[in-house]
């Protein structure tokens, strides 16, 4: 479809009909914290969101993304009807019956000709548990293929495997309240402040109330989370097993093991300790492998040993590794060895990335598991086959995510149904993923967004429900099941994923197995399966929830599994043993420390680390709709230590080519002294919808953990090279361009009242060539054009006005000397420009005393860095003081770490001056 048609779709007037109700209690669709929300409808029909003070996960708190959820609603770029794209790229609207018949007929033919393993599903932690359950049941029980995996493979698989090895089942033993009850919280591979902001707020509040609570951050980068850290260990990427094995050896040496707990409840501990002594024989060996000082290492070990109540919260920095399972096991080993598990303020706490990654694990949504935590043993298979009356239950695991798309590329898989995810952007070696889908016989995409990098490759596109339209349940990182309730009706012909899956199941001849009419019926079957022939061997069980009727399901309040027959949940597990292994005992793992799969070389001497930024989510299909979330970091940046930048001839604001064996990207440089020397960081969010060449996972290597199948997103050998630009600039347009700029670098982001493009090119251009590089002929703004140029310098400025109203403005300079964007953006909110504003427009300087704000730090109140620095210099030297004078930090609190960091930086500069 043409870019012009996309723009037309984006401009459809937005009408959001809402149900006649005052308030809906639901759940946030972002990270694994699982915050409760209250959606309020005012008398005039407007919607607002606030944190639910009665929800145990967030107790009323929200982050910037959650606070802006209402701004993400609307029908812009919505996929509203089933569509078919032919081989020539022509798209036509089709009926649901035609779409579903097509799927069923093609699946039946492919299964008959090539076997069930030629069909695959790729699901997502954005799906509700009920959707996930039906997908898993249809694929593994009735189609007969285990090739159903999920994007949770990219974030949680190592935690799943590590917990299965240690505990016998994928169980997170700790809870959020343990963060507040601990005396020491170790955050390992977790930028809590940005990736799980509400948990960070809870931990920060606990530390303020009880200053003796210590926080240690283990992360190669100094992130915003370090604002509350008593110690930061910037270990080398991939060195975690050495670090934790060294801690275990230290605890042995100083008599800190809980031998009573070990003797009663743990197997394999002697072999584990022996292996740890080989991997980490002394402090100097560990310090050398981790790339930190012996003194800092000793300090960490002593703090841990001296503190009885310790929580280790870990996330993607641990999981996303070719040794991710071993890293998880190393953490679990230490907690098992010391009995620091299952007690208030104690235990390992795996922080999931997505809102329902846990729910997907519960229903067997991964290729390596079966529903209700059943395994592939003959007894478990027999149990599930009888419960489902499944004629084609799979006999063993299917292909994990990376292998699954490799099989598509190799032609082994002929059809894939992708639901609620964007693998062309999010999987490693993403160019191979794109090529695989281009060659696949049948690609089906269920999504609510019409244009993503993945949807555009699908022959069949199915309109799915968006967050505000979904009804079902999700499970968060602490095993807490919450209701997600719809507060908007389905627009167009959008349907629940479970409905579409059931309709395909019926068309394949399995009517009775997929006769569900609502989410409650699916959930209660899921709950009954958790209890079916479960004599206590499986910890996952939903007890009383198996008997819920429709009204009780609708009123379900948040509860943590395992759940008793009377409906009570469990906060924490394993304090008295009772593990899920056959003998009821845990098992510590004997580990061999090993470096990342891909070593650095002279050709690729730097380590690329990838991850999230504060205000964006995944591939920005939701968050980019909220203009207030786009000001904090409005384009993809390459973070690099100043010493490395100097070595490679880079400066902040300039551009660098980033290359690996697998792909390349072009990013703007950001010097960052929080980076570890020898490493760079780039965000995962930007797709081809938002930037010219910033799909960072096209650069990431596809090596995976051999046990979990989780890719190594945190260690890709890369090189960087400065890319001189003859000019760079920015464009603000009231309406999005009909086609992307045709210059070497561009990025776009919606901001308040306009769209902002950052542009640059390495070719010197006259004005005509410059304009044609930015505008397609059909997208040149209409109206009166006023401009100014300096051909000697290569600078150019232009503005387009229509009936006095600003339509677009363009600023270009050879050296990046460009005006502040945010004041110019504000002009688009004016019905017409005054004569003073017209005169000031091309200068880029306001004619009023309004100061430039700088880059946005507080998304909720649009407070910029320059404004904050002025207030700090005026004596406001705490986040609370800044809130009083300019509101920053006074809503969701996500920017409070950034406020503290600005304060610290400003005070250091004053001292050095």
DSSP per-residue string spanning 308-371: SSEEEEE-HHHHSSTTHHHHHHHHHHHHHHTT-SSSTT-EEEE--SSTTHHHHHHTT-STT--G
Inside any domain, residue 574: no
Inside any domain, residue 849: no
Tell me which of 292, 326, 350 is where a domain ends: 350
CATH of the domain at 887: 1.10.10.1100
Answer whether residue 321 shows pLDDT above 70: yes
Tell me which of 350, 377, 412 is where a domain ends: 350
Handedness of CA 449, 73, 691, 842 (dihedral sign): positive
Judge whether 711 and 154 are in contact, CB under 8 Å.
yes
Inside any domain, residue 257: yes
Predicted confidence (pLDDT) per residue in 759-773, tens digit? 999 998 888 888 988
Predicted confidence at residue 1, as pLDDT, reads: 38
Predicted confidence at residue 878, as pLDDT, reads: 92
Give the SS3 label for residue 216: strand
The model carries a pTM of 0.95
Query: What φ, ψ does residue 371 adopt, rounded to 5°?
Result: -65, 155
Ordered strands of the 231-233 beta sheet: 231-233, 214-218, 184-188, 310-314, 347-350
- What mean pLDDT is predicted for residues 339-350? 98
Alpha-carbon gap, residue 26 to 67, rounded angstroms: 14
- What mean pLDDT is predicted for residues 165-184? 98
Predicted confidence (pLDDT) per residue in 365-414, tens digit? 999 999 999 999 999 999 999 999 999 999 999 999 999 999 999 999 99
- What mean pLDDT is predicted for residues 617-638? 94
Same domain, 302 and 169: yes
CATH of the domain at 195: 3.40.228.10
Answer whether residue 69 shows pLDDT above 90: yes
Answer whether residue 358 shows pLDDT above 80: yes
Same domain, 146 and 161: no
Q: Which residue intervals of 727-851 are DSSP H helices?
A: 767-774, 821-826, 835-841
CATH of the domain at 490: 3.40.50.740
Rg (CA), the chain: 27
Same domain, 667 and 814: no
- What mean pLDDT is predicted for residues 77-97? 97
Alpha-carbon gap, residue 229 to 727, rounded angstroms: 42
Same domain, 741 and 627: no
Give the SS3 label for residue 645: helix
Same domain, 667 and 795: no
Give the SS3 label for residue 834: coil
- Tell how far CA 497 is from the center of its chain: 21
Same domain, 501 and 519: yes
pLDDT bin (cut points 50, 70, 90) of residue 22 is: confident
- What mean pLDDT is predicted for residues 643-664? 97
The DSSP secondary structure of 244-301, one letter per residue, reads HHHHHHHHHHTT---HHHHHHHEESHHHHHHHHHHH--SHHHHHHHHTS-HHHHHHHH
Same domain, 204 and 56: no
Predicted confidence (pLDDT) per residue in 680-712, tens digit? 999 999 999 999 999 999 999 999 999 999 999
Same domain, 526 and 434: yes
Domain that holds residue 867: 856-912
Non-local (6+) Cβ contacts of 880 within 8 A are 889
CA distances from 213 to 182, 227, 309, 343, 856 (A): 7, 14, 10, 17, 32
Give the SS3 label for residue 806: strand
Alpha-carbon gap, residue 771 to 775, rounded angstroms: 6
Inside any domain, residue 586: no
Inside any domain, residue 594: no
Give the total number of structural domains in the chain.
6
CA 543-547-549 angle, to 5 degrees, is 140
Same domain, 216 and 311: yes
Kindly report the average pLDDT of the chain as a whole number: 94
Handedness of CA 531, 536, 541, 544 (dihedral sign): positive
Answer whether residue 5 shows pLDDT above 60: no
Inside any domain, residue 660: yes
Dmax over CA atoms of the chain, in Å, equals 83
Same domain, 247 and 129: no
Predicted confidence at residue 489, as pLDDT, reads: 96
- What mean pLDDT is predicted for residues 589-597? 97
Inside any domain, residue 332: yes
The residues with which 806 forms a beta bridge, in sequence order, are 801
Sole residue written with tokens 């033919």: 109
Same domain, 336 and 229: yes
Alpha-carbon gap, residue 179 to 421, rounded angstroms: 31
- For 163, how many CA atoms within 13 A lie in the half-sphere containing its CB? 25
Both tokens of 890, joined, read 């006074």
Same domain, 118 and 232: no
Predicted confidence (pLDDT) per residue in 801-846, tens digit? 999 999 999 999 997 788 888 889 989 999 998 888 888 888 888 7
Predicted confidence at residue 420, as pLDDT, reads: 97
Inside any domain, residue 443: yes
Non-local (6+) Cβ contacts of 112 within 8 A are none
Predicted confidence at residue 390, as pLDDT, reads: 98
Tell me which of 792, 816, 841 is where a domain ends: 841
Both tokens of 112, joined, read 């008959």
CATH of the domain at 620: 2.40.40.20
């Amino acid at each position: 479809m043409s870019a012009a048609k996309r723009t037309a779709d984006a401009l459809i007037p937005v009408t959001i009909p809402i149900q006649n109700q005052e308030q809906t209690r639901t759940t946030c669709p972002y990270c694994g914290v699982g915050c409760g929300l209250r959606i309020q409808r005012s008398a005039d029909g407007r919607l607002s969101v606030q944190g639910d003070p009665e929800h145990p996960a967030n107790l009323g708190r929200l982050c910037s993304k959650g606070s802006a959820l209402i701004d993400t609603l609307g029908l812009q770029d919505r996929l509203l009807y089933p569509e078919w794209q032919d081989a020539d790229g022509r798209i036509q609207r089709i009926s649901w019956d035609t779409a579903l018949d097509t799927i069923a007929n093609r699946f039946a033919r492919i299964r008959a000709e090539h076997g069930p393993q030629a069909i695959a599903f790729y699901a997502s932690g954005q799906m509700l548990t009920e959707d996930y359950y039906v997908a898993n049941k249809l694929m593994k029980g009735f189609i007969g293929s285990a090739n159903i995996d999920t994007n949770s493979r990219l974030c949680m698989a190592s935690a799943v495997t590590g917990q299965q090895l240690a505990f016998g089942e994928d169980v997170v033993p700790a809870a959020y309240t343990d963060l507040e009850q601990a005396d020491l919280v170790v955050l390992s591979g977790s930028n809590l402040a940005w990736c799980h902001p509400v948990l960070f707020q809870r931990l920060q509040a606990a530390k303020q109330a009880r200053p003796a609570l210590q926080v240690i951050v283990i992360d190669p980068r100094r992130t915003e989370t370090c604002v509350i850290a008593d110690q930061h260990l910037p270990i080398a990427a991939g060195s975690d097993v050495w670090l934790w094995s060294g801690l275990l050896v230290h605890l042995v040496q100083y008599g800190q093991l809980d031998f009573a707990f070990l003797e009663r409840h743990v197997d394999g501990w002697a072999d584990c300790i022996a292996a740890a002594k080989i991997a980490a024989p002394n402090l100097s060996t560990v310090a050398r492998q981790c790339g930190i000082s012996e003194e800092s290492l000793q300090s960490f070990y002593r703090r841990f040993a001296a503190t009885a109540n310790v929580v280790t919260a870990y996330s993607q920095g641990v999981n996303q590794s070719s040794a991710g399972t071993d890293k998880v096991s190393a953490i679990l080993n230490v907690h098992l060895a010391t009995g620091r598990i299952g007690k208030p303020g104690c235990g390992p706490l795996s922080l999931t990335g997505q809102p329902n990654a846990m729910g997907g694990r519960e229903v067997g949504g991964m290729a390596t598991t079966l529903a209700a935590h059943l395994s592939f043993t003959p007894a478990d298979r027999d149990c599930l086959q009888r419960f489902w009356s499944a004629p084609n239950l799979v006999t063993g695991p299917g292909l994990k995510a990376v292998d699954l798309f490799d099989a598509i590329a190799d032609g082994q898989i002929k059809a894939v149904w992708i639901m609620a995810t964007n693998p062309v952007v999010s999987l490693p070696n993403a160019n191979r993923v794109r090529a695989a889908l281009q060659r696949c016989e049948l690609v089906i995409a269920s999504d609510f967004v019409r244009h993503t990098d993945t949807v555009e490759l699908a022959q069949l596109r199915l309109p799915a429900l968006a967050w505000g339209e979904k009804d079902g349940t999700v499970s968060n990182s602490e095993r807490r099941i919450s209701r997600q309730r719809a507060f908007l009706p389905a627009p167009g012909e959008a349907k629940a994923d479970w409905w579409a899956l059931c309709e395909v199941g019926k068309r394949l001849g399995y009517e009775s197995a997929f006769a569900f009419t609502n989410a409650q019926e699916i959930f209660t079957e899921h709950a009954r399966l958790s209890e079916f022939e479960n004599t206590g061997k499986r910890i996952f069980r939903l007890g009383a929830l198996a008997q819920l009727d429709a009204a009780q399901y609708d009123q379900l309040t948040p509860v943590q599994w395992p759940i008793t027959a009377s409906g009570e949940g469990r906060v924490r597990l394993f304090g008295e043993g009772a593990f899920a292994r056959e003998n009821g005992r845990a098992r510590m793992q004997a580990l061999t420390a090993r470096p990342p799969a891909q070593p650095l070389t002279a050709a690729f001497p730097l380590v690329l680390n990838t991850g999230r930024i504060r205000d964006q989510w995944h591939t920005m299909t939701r968050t980019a709709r909220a203009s207030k979330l786009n000001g904090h970091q409005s384009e993809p940046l390459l973070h690099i230590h100043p010493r490395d930048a100097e070595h490679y001839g880079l400066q902040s604001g300039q551009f660098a080519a980033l290359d690996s064996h697998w792909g390349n990207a072009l990013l703007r440089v950001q010097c960052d002294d929080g980076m570890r020397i020898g490493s760079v960081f780039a965000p995962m969010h930007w797709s081809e919808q938002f930037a010219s060449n910033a799909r960072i996972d096209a650069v990431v290597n596809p090596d995976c953990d051999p046990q979990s199948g989780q890719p190594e997103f945190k260690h890709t050998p890369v090189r960087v090279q400065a890319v001189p630009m003859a000019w760079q600039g920015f464009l603000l347009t009231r309406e999005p361009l009909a086609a992307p700029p045709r210059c070497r670098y561009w990025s776009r982001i919606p901001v308040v009242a306009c769209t902002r493009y950052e542009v640059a090119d390495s070719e010197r251009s006259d004005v005509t060539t410059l304009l044609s590089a930015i505008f397609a002929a059909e997208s040149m703004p209409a109206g009166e054009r006023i401009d100014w140029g300096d051909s000697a310098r290569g600078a150019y400025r232009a503005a387009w006005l229509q009936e006095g109203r600003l339509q677009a403005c363009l600023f270009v300079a050879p050296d990046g000397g460009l005006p502040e964007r945010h004041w110019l953006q504000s002009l688009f909110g004016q019905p017409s420009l005054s004569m003073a504003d017209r005169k000031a427009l091309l200068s880029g300087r306001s004619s009023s005393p309004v100061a430039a704000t700088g880059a946005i730090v507080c998304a909720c109140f649009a407070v910029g860095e320059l404004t904050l620095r002025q207030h700090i210099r005026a004596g406001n030297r705490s986040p609370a003081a800044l809130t009083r004078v300019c509101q920053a930090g006074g809503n969701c609190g996500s920017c409070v770490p950034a406020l503290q960091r600005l304060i610290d930086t400003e005070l250091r500069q004053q001292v050095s001056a």
